[in-house]
Amino acid sequence: MITKITKICLIICLLPNALIANTKYFKQGIDLYKNKKFDEAKFKFEQDIVFNPKSEMSYLYLSKIFNNLNKKDLEEQNLNTVILLNPKNEEATYYLAKLKLDLSDYKRSKELNNKLLDFCDKFCAKGQKLKIEIDKLSKQ
């Protein structure tokens, strides 16, 4: 009986600390990202993912960091993870479509952009501009 009470007390004491740490790492990552301290921000977002493997926003910011560091493969990997976690993440879908266009994968870019236009809310205008750009470049 005493061990059950001890376990419950430990869970009650440690769980809030883990949740606070998770939020803390993400917020620190955002601050570092805004100050263009990409290596330090990357580490904080990775720490956040350790506590919350489904943190789509941490993966999204990692993709933005890799974009700034011109590491296209890692950017794509993180964008794909965001879309896996949330297939209707407009920002990730838009940036992945844009990345595919930059890599001359017009077919995949068009597919992604069409999906974006089906469910967009905030990225509709950007999606429409990207559609024109895809059509123009795929005809050349």
Q: What is the pLDDT of residue 1?
A: 54
Tell how far CA 89 is from the center of its chain. 9
101-138 pLDDT, tens digit each: 999 999 999 999 999 999 999 999 999 999 999 999 88
Q: What is the pLDDT of residue 23?
A: 78
| pTM of the full structure | 0.82
- Whether 63 contacts 79, CB under 8 Å: yes
**Three-state helix/strand/coil letters over the chain:** CHHHHHHHHHHHHHHHHHHHHHHHHHHHHHHHHHCCCHHHHHHHHHHHHHHCCCCHHHHHHHHHHHHHCCCHHHHHHHHHHHHHHCCCCHHHHHHHHHHHHHCCCHHHHHHHHHHHHHHCCCCHHHHHHHHHHHHHHHCC
**Higher pLDDT, residue 2 or 43:** 43
Is pLDDT of 39 > 80?
A: yes
Cα–Cα distance measured from residue 30 to residue 33, given in angstroms and rounded to the nearest whole number: 5
Q: What is the pLDDT of residues 68-82, one digit of tens each?
A: 999 999 999 999 999
The answer, yes or no, to whether residue 3 has pLDDT greater than 70, is no
